[in-house]
Every structure is written in structure tokens, then in C-alpha cells.
């Protein structure tokens, strides 16, 4: 089965609500799922005891006090009961579609990394998990009023044990460590599977009060820039746009033929608009170049679009 692991903020205020929601949703995915919570933040031990989670209070940190990515992934792979792991940020509610995506990936091939675009959703109260409809209600809320975040935000990493060995001294709490993990998986020969069309990962909205400059500060301060420097000064950074395969809404795994078009610029959060423009240019070029042939065989533009899917 599966081991999920994470680390949390102190269990106080709104963070307490959304973190408890997330952890409980993971626990309910399947009776055999293992959940490991790293860190000695306020309330962590009590929550783990109450929910029956494995608590690992020790976490290595750098001089800023932020937690080491290398330690979390190395230790989790050492102690996990299962052969497949998922790191998830502790504000993500995962539903049964996530478990189904895992089962499809596991049956598909040996070496993979599953990622997906999250749905930013307003959740301010504890979820009543005793209600039979809680998952369907939350999925409906995320799909109707949530915001589908762009592919640079990566909040969970589902992978087989052993995929990650050496990780540079990156830290959680700043940008770029997540993008390095995607690059590392690809460089190790893993398929990158984007499950965004199949899974609705519910990200419970929160502020960035832990940084004086908010979200912008987590991208641009000295610690964030150090993360970027350690990632080959930006060369070893990838996103969901770099997926080699995608999981369709029907649950089929298909190769991402648009991937070569996407790697058109150095990594950066402002490149996604350029990537989409490049994809449109490539599509229009295909339409133009095949015009005479399509006219001869009666292949219309809308038919061609259907053949290549909605991507």
C-alpha cells in the first residue's frame, strides 16, 4: 500500500483546522495507509496520538531553522512500512480519486512520479468526516468555487521507495525545492505522470503570515535564492508542464506529446504564459502545414483536434 509523510506548522488557529483536515483525509484513504508526521511543533504529538499516526519529532534543520528536504525524504524512505511513498504538504485534503490514481500508476510501471495541479479552496471549518457525503461535498466545492492553480505549484509527490537518494541541502518553506524534486525524478529515468485531469487535490487556502513579505518573500528572499542556486542555479528545475505522461479524466495513461514544445525557456514562474503561447504556435503550425492533405482526405480541423485530445 502507501506511506504518506509530511511536516506541519504549529497546530494553532486556522493552521490547526486545515492540518487536522488534511491528516484525517489521508488516514481515511485506506485502512492500510501509513501516515508519518515529522517535527515537534506545538500540538503535533497530541494530534498523532489522537489519530493513530506515526510521529517523528526530530527533523534536521539548516541555520535558518527551516527543515531539510534531504532529511525528510531520506528518513521517510528508511522507515516507511510500504514500498510507495507520498510527500504532501500538510494543507492538502486527498480524496479517493488520489488513491485510484496511485493504483493505476503502480500497475502501469515500476518507476514513476505522480504530481498534479491543486484546487485552491476556501475551507475555514473542521470537516465532519462522520458525514457519508463529506468527500463528494468537498470535491463539488473545489470544482465549483476553487481555483485550479498553475503548474508551477506542486504540493504532493507520489513515488516508489528508492527514487530519491542524494538531495542537496534544500529547505522546505521556500520555493524551488519542489521543482528540483521533479527534475531529479526525470533525471533518474522516472516517468512524470500528471494526474490533474483525474484527481481533485483540495488545497485549503491559508495566508503566508510566517514570512514578513508573504508569498512573494518565499520566492525571492535569500533562503529561496539559495534553494535556486543549489538547484543548478535554476537549471535543475522542472514543473508539472514537464510531465511525460498524463492521466486522463477517464483514467487512461497517455504520453504527453506536447512536452517537447513546452521546454522553450529557462525555468521561472513567469514562463508558463510563454509556454502556452508556444503550444498555440505549434498547434497552428500543424494546422497550416497539413491543410492541403486534410482537404484531400476530408479531415477537418475539429476532427484533428479530437484525435490529439483536449490538451
pLDDT one-digit tens code per residue, 121-162: 999 999 999 999 999 999 999 999 999 999 999 999 999 999
Average pLDDT over residues 238-256: 95
Interatomic CA distance for residues 47 and 49, integer angstroms:
5
**247 & 281 share domain:** no
- Sheet arrangement for strand 156-160: 54-56, 34-38, 2-7, 84-88, 156-160, 112-115, 191-194, 245-247, 253-255
The pLDDT value recorded for residue 251 is: 97
**Domain for residue 62, yes or no?**
yes
- How many structural domains does the chain have? 2
- Band of residue 304 on the pLDDT scale cut at 50, 70, 90: low
Average pLDDT over residues 41-55: 98
Helix (H) or strand (E) holding 294: helix 291-297
**124 & 176 share domain:** yes
**285 & 221 share domain:** no
Asked whether the beta carbons of 23 and 37 are under 8 A apart, the reply is yes
The pLDDT value recorded for residue 219 is: 76
Average pLDDT over residues 185-199: 97
**Residue whose C-alpha is closest to residue 182's, from 64, 66, 279, 87:** 87
249 or 311, which is more confident?
Answer: 249
**208 & 283 share domain:** no
Average pLDDT over residues 266-274: 47
The pLDDT value recorded for residue 134 is: 98
pLDDT one-digit tens code per residue, 85-113: 999 999 999 999 999 999 999 999 999 99
Interatomic CA distance for residues 191 and 83, integer angstroms:
17
Interatomic CA distance for residues 143 and 147, integer angstroms:
8
pTM: 0.84
Beta strands, E only, 89-196: 92-93, 112-115, 119-121, 147-148, 156-160, 191-194
The pLDDT value recorded for residue 298 is: 67
The pLDDT value recorded for residue 217 is: 64
**Domain for residue 263, yes or no?**
no
What residues make up the domain containing 103?
Answer: 2-253
pLDDT of 269 higher than 70: no
**107 & 159 share domain:** yes
Amino acid at each position: 500500500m502507501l506511506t504518506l509523510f509530511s511536516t506541519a506548522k504549529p497546530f494553532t488557529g486556522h493552521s490547526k483546522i486545515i492540518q487536522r483536515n488534511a491528516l484525517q483525509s489521508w488516514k481515511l484513504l485506506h485502512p492500510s495507509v501509513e501516515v508519518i508526521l515529522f517535527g515537534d511543533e506545538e500540538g503535533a504529538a497530541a494530534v498523532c496520538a489522537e489519530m493513530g499516526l506515526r510521529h517523528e519529532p526530530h527533523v534536521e534543520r539548516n541555520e535558518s531553522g527551516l527543515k531539510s528536504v534531504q532529511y525528510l525524504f531520506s528518513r521517510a524512505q528508511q522507515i516507511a512500512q510500504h514500498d510507495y511513498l507520498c510527500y504532501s504538504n500538510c494543507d492538502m485534503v486527498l480524496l479517493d480519486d488520489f488513491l485510484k490514481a496511485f493504483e493505476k500508476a503502480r500497475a502501469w510501471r515500476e518507476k514513476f512520479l505522480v504530481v498534479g495541479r491543486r484546487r485552491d479552496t476556501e475551507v475555514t471549518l473542521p470537516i465532519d468526516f462522520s458525514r457519508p457525503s463529506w468527500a463528494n461535498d468537498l470535491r463539488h466545492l473545489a470544482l465549483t468555487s476553487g481555483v485550479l492553480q498553475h503548474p508551477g505549484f506542486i504540493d504532493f509527490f507520489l513515488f516508489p521507495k528508492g527514487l530519491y537518494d542524494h538531495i542537496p541541502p534544500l529547505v522546505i518553506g521556500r520555493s524551488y525545492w519542489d521543482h528540483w524534486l521533479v527534475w531529479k525524478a526525470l533525471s533518474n529515468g522516472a516517468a512524470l505522470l500528471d494526474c490533474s485531469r483525474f484527481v481533485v487535490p483540495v488545497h485549503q487556502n491559508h495566508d503566508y503570515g510566517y514570512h514578513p513579505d508573504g508569498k512573494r518573500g518565499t520566492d525571492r528572499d535569500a533562503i529561496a535564492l539559495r534553494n535556486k542556486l543549489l538547484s543548478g542555479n535554476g537549471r535543475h528545475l522542472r514543473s508539472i508542464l514537464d510531465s511525460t505522461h498524463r492521466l486522463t479524466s477517464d483514467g487512461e495513461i497517455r504520453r504527453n506529446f506536447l512536452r517537447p514544445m513546452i521546454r522553450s525557456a529557462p525555468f521561472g514562474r513567469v514562463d508558463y504564459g510563454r509556454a502556452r503561447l508556444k503550444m498555440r504556435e505549434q498547434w497552428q503550425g500543424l494546422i497550416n502545414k497539413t491543410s492541403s492533405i486534410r482537404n484531400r482526405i476530408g479531415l477537418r480541423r475539429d476532427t484533428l483536434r479530437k484525435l490529439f485530445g483536449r490538451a
